Amino acid sequence: MKVCVVGSGGREHALASALSRTAQVVLAPGNPAMSGFERTSVPPEQVEADLWVIGPEAPLVSGLADRIRARGGCVFGPGEGGARLEGSKVWMKELLVAARVPTAQFRAFDDPEPALHYLGTLPGPWVVKTDGLAAGKGVLVTEDRGEAARDIREKLSGRAFGAAGRRIVVEEGLTGQELSVMALCDGQRAYPLAAAQDHKRLGDGGTGPNTGGMGAFSPVPGAGDDLIGDVMERAVLPTLHALRKRGIDFRGTLYAGLMLTDDGPKVLEFNVRFGDPEAQVVLPRWEGDVAAALRAAAQGQLSDRDAPSFSDRAAVCVVLAAPGYPEQPVTGGFIDGLEQARAIKGVDLYAAGVGEEEGRLVTAGGRVLGVTGLGKDLAEARQLAYRAADLISWPGLLRRNDIAEVAAR
Ligand code: AMP
Ligand code: GLY
């Protein structure tokens, strides 16, 4: 089987590695640090393949899966209709309410005055989100009502996020532990993957701005089969059925971003793809034929045979980013130490914002590399990931030093 992986980030690198255990992989377009894989600059629609796996949200939201299916291709990834779940937070929240999926109390606004009034009725912390895609950066969570009010005005002015921000969701802030549960869906059935936890904030201790994700780990202590089963029953399956009721045949990954509150798990967001960097800790632990499972989902034919099972090994991924991330990453720095880091047993490197200049690898995006360590437990996996990360450098490299620290204790 030949699989075309669409995208160029760390998640796509992890997908290519997992798929290549049983299939031939071509990356469209991938990046220069994805050595050992065939890459193509041909538009994905025109690549010859038996299966397409679309990594990022933007091409899903703009209907790439529909275009490939229209040509008879077999695609893992929802069409434009299903991708709306991620492309519009307002639409997603309304669907969750209709499906009775637990989620934070909210309202949607186009004008600042009613939004500010609603803000005053919530006890805080307060959350303001852009409706459209903002690469994980369109969300403000704050305990300062004045800051929330300023953010409402700023977002609705269109200055901060352009059209993506002209509509917003204002919602109650939930507190608790966060958890990511991804599930393979074939339109009707869904099978969960191992749970993961992401670190969204830029700085140690969960400080600083929200990012696309600075690191992740899996498994998550306390998130056993019971909790995952509960998330499937209360969040994933009702959402899949609500989509179906709207005529949407969702074949791809439903990713539930959850807060484990005192009242049980509540959905913060749904994504319509594998998480990044969650994929970099979940896929390496997946035992079995990943390509066959994704193809079965794409064909609407998932069965118990495809149910993913996971190794007992733990995985920790530390993201290395360019200076200025997430606001304005400064790129073009020479990357050193990759070979030494890669040589450590139990370490996988997943390349994201990497380019090439004068035959050398350079930073070319905000999140540059994911360094995944695999060990007998989270402590060992974490130690390996940081040992490898310490060997890699470029001017102004940013990283967190506390990925999985609390969980590994
Ligand atoms: P989202 O893109 O909706 O997942 O938001 C990004 C991050 O913002 C989440 O992973 C949470 O850390 C945080 N967040 C989003 N919604 C809420 C909420 N209602 N309460 C507390 N934190 C939230
Ligand atoms: N790491 C969060 C995401 O992929 O949306």
Residue 164 confidence class, pLDDT cut points 50, 70, 90: low
51 Cα to the center of ligand 2, angstroms: 23
Atom index in ligand 1 nearest the CA of residue 171 equals 19
> Would you say the CB of residue 178 lies under 6 angstroms from ligand 1?
yes
Query: Tell me, what amino acid is at 357?
Result: E
> Would you say the CB of residue 210 lies under 6 angstroms from ligand 1?
yes
In this prediction, residue 35 carries a pLDDT of 85
Contacts 24+ apart (CB under 8 A), 33-37: 33/335, 33/338, 33/349, 33/351, 33/354, 33/361, 33/369, 34/351
Atom index in ligand 1 nearest the CA of residue 174 equals 20
Residue 138 confidence class, pLDDT cut points 50, 70, 90: confident
101 Cα to the center of ligand 1, angstroms: 16
Least confident of 56-70, 81-95, 129-143, 194-208: 129-143
Average pLDDT over residues 304-308: 95
In this prediction, residue 181 carries a pLDDT of 98
> Would you say the CB of residue 228 lies under 6 angstroms from ligand 1?
no
- Mutation pick for ligand 2 pocket among 210, 255, 318 (CB with most ligand atoms within 8 Å): 255
pTM of the model: 0.95
pLDDT tens digit string along 34-82? 989 999 999 999 999 999 999 999 999 999 999 999 999 999 999 999 9
User: How many angstroms separate the CA atoms of 316 and 219, rounded?
Assistant: 9
Atom index in ligand 1 nearest the CA of residue 175 equals 21
> Would you say the CB of residue 371 lies under 6 angstroms from ligand 1?
no
> Would you say the CB of residue 85 lies under 6 angstroms from ligand 1?
no
Residue 136 confidence class, pLDDT cut points 50, 70, 90: low
> Would you say the CB of residue 265 lies under 6 angstroms from ligand 2?
no
**Is residue 313 scored above 90 in pLDDT?**
yes
When the candidates are 3.40.50.40, 3.90.600.10, 3.30.70.420, 3.30.1300.10, the CATH number that belongs to 314-389 is 3.90.600.10
Residue nearest to atom 16 of ligand 1 (CA): 268
Residue 188 confidence class, pLDDT cut points 50, 70, 90: very high
Average pLDDT over residues 86-101: 95
> Would you say the CB of residue 213 lies under 6 angstroms from ligand 2?
yes
Question: How open is the CA angle 66-67-73, to the nearest 5 degrees?
Answer: 85
In this prediction, residue 162 carries a pLDDT of 67
Least confident of 131-135, 145-149, 174-178: 131-135
**Is residue 329 scored above 90 in pLDDT?**
yes
Residue 163 confidence class, pLDDT cut points 50, 70, 90: low
**Is residue 135 scored above 70 in pLDDT?**
no
pLDDT tens digit string along 372-408? 999 999 999 999 999 999 999 999 999 999 999 999 9
User: How many angstroms separate the CA atoms of 115 and 105, rounded?
Assistant: 14
In this prediction, residue 215 carries a pLDDT of 98
High-pLDDT (> 70) share of the chain, %: 98
275 Cα to the center of ligand 2, angstroms: 4
37 Cα to the center of ligand 2, angstroms: 24
pLDDT tens digit string along 282-304? 999 999 999 999 999 999 999 99
**Is residue 165 scored above 80 in pLDDT?**
no
Look up the CATH number of domain 177-310: 3.30.470.20
Atom index in ligand 2 nearest the CA of residue 276 equals 4
Q: Which bound ligand lies closest to the C-alpha atom of 276?
A: 2
Do the domains at 105-172 and 314-389 have one common CATH topology? no
Residue nearest to atom 5 of ligand 1 (CA): 139
Question: For residues 160 and 202, which has the higher predicted lDDT (pLDDT)?
Answer: 202
Helix (H, G, I), strand (E, B) or coil at 292: helix
In this prediction, residue 137 carries a pLDDT of 64
SS3 content of the chain, % helix, strand, coil (to 5): 30, 30, 40
> Would you say the CB of residue 268 lies under 6 angstroms from ligand 1?
yes
Question: How open is the CA angle 34-40-46, to the nearest 5 degrees?
Answer: 145
262 Cα to the center of ligand 1, angstroms: 17
CATH superfamily assigned to domain 105-172? ATP-grasp fold, A domain (3.30.1490.20)
> Would you say the CB of residue 278 lies under 6 angstroms from ligand 2?
yes
In this prediction, residue 161 carries a pLDDT of 65
> Would you say the CB of residue 130 lies under 6 angstroms from ligand 1?
no
User: How many angstroms separate the CA atoms of 12 and 34, rounded?
Assistant: 10
Give the residue extent of every domain in the chain: 2-82, 105-172, 177-310, 314-389
**51-54 β-sheet, strand order:** 38-39, 24-29, 2-7, 51-54, 75-76
Q: Which of 86, 2, 50 lies closest to 299 in space, CA to CA?
A: 50
In this prediction, residue 259 carries a pLDDT of 97
Q: Which bound ligand lies closest to the C-alpha atom of 268?
A: 1
177 Cα to the center of ligand 1, angstroms: 11
258 Cα to the center of ligand 1, angstroms: 9
Q: Which bound ligand lies closest to the C-alpha atom of 105?
A: 1
Look up the CATH number of domain 2-82: 3.40.50.20
In this prediction, residue 134 carries a pLDDT of 74
To the nearest whole number, what is the mean pLDDT of the chain?
96
User: How many angstroms separate the CA atoms of 139 and 187, rounded?
Assistant: 29
Average pLDDT over residues 264-277: 97
Average pLDDT over residues 101-108: 97
Atom index in ligand 2 nearest the CA of residue 273 equals 4
**Is residue 311 scored above 90 in pLDDT?**
yes
